[in-house]
Amino acid sequence: MTGDFAGYRECHVQPDWLLVYRIDKEILTLVLAYTGTHSDLF
């Protein structure tokens, strides 16, 4: 992802429902950051 979401990844839970997350490999942590529709997030 780019812009404000640089370093994050996305997972489509449903066709218009995203889960935005990042993986911190230093401490083996998954950080769930945002969830919502495309219009909610962008």
Structure token digits, residue 19: 């889960």
How would you class 8 by CB atoms within 10 Å of its CB: exposed for 0-12, middle for 13-18, buried for 19 or more? Answer: middle
Segments forming the whole domain that contains residue 20: 3-41
The number of residues making up the chain comes to 42
Residue 17 CA to residue 26 CA, distance in Å, equals 29
Which helix (H) or strand (E) segment holds residue 36: the answer is strand 29-36
Structural domains of the chain, count? 1
Name which of 11, 38, 13 is nearest 22 in CA terms. Answer: 11
Q: What is the pTM of this model?
A: 0.67
State residue 6's pLDDT score.
92
Q: What is the pLDDT of residues 1-42, one digit of tens each?
A: 889 889 888 889 888 888 888 887 788 787 788 889 888 887
